[in-house]
Amino acid sequence: MTEKAQRTIRIKWVRSGIGFTYHQKEMVRSLGLRRLHQVVERPDTPQIRGLVAQIPHLVAIVDKASQPAAWTLLPEYTIRPPEVAPVELPVPPEAVPVPEGASAVVPAEAGAPVAEPVALEPPVKTAKETPAKAKATKTKKPAKSAAAEKSKAAATKKGKPAPGKSAKPSKPSKK
């Protein structure tokens, strides 16, 4: 094979075909370009060079793939572990030797809060508290329905007795 048959060119689609003729868009597609800024490799033949020459405003011949810029290879930032200062723990009073004759109780410092003793058992309920709560829950009245209240109000406005009540006899008129 000759050297010309092995040579290829790289073609990049650089501008959209919007606003150009159908034939120019078809030439871009015939080069194998499907997306904008796509790069394809084609054999370096007179036919391919002729297609590229017809649409130089839409495609460009680019050199071999260049190496990315050096700054893109650097990380944006580096993560360093936080500097931690050594923590000094206070010595518990049990670890301090107590001289003979002195008390082992440490006096409370001025302004230091004093802990309250905690009750471990729950408070005992008296007999009077329990029945009172039970009675309070049993004495609830049943709720009246809204429909019954409306019908009662409507019946009294019309002059008819409410359901469940007897009608009062009307007084005779004096003539």
Edge to edge, the sheet with strand 8-13 lists 39-43, 8-13, 59-62
pLDDT at residue 35 in the model:
96
- Residue 128 has φ and ψ, to the nearest 5°, of -75, -35
Whether residue 63 is predicted with pLDDT greater than 80 in this model: the reply is: yes
Kindly report, residue by residue over 122-140, the tens digit of the pLDDT.
666 665 555 555 555 565 6
User: Measured between alpha carbons, how far is 63 from 151 in angstroms, rounded to an integer?
Assistant: 93
CA 160 distance to own-chain centroid: 63
Q: Which of 8-12, 60-64, 135-139 has the highest mean pLDDT?
A: 8-12
Cβ–Cβ contacts within 10 Å for residue 122, how many? 6
pLDDT at residue 78 in the model:
77
Residue with tokens 């597609």: 29
Kindly report, residue by residue over 144-165, the tens digit of the pLDDT.
667 667 767 666 665 555 555 5
- The pTM score is 0.37
pLDDT at residue 82 in the model:
85
Residues contacting residue 48 through CB under 8 Å, at least 6 positions apart: 9, 11, 31, 42
Whether residue 65 is predicted with pLDDT greater than 90 in this model: the reply is: no
Q: CATH number of the domain at 17-62, please?
A: 3.30.1390.20
DSSP 97-123: PPPTTS-SPPPPPTTPPPPPPPP-SPP
Do the bridges between strand 39-43 and strand 59-62 make them parallel or antiparallel, or are there none, so unpaired?
unpaired
**DSSP-derived secondary structure letter, 33:** -
pLDDT at residue 141 in the model:
64
Question: Average model confidence (pLDDT) for the chain?
Answer: 75
Whether residue 52 is predicted with pLDDT greater than 70 in this model: the reply is: yes
Q: Do residues 16 and 29 touch, judged by C-beta distance below 8 A? A: no
Residues contacting residue 43 through CB under 8 Å, at least 6 positions apart: 5, 7, 8, 9
pLDDT at residue 155 in the model:
64
- Give residue limits of the domains in the chain: 17-62
pLDDT at residue 89 in the model:
78
Best CA proximity match to 34, nearest among 65, 9, 59, 54: 59
pLDDT classification of 90: cutoffs 50, 70, 90: confident
Average pLDDT score over residue span 96-109? 60
pLDDT at residue 121 in the model:
64
pLDDT at residue 75 in the model:
75
Does residue 59 sit in helix, strand or coil? strand
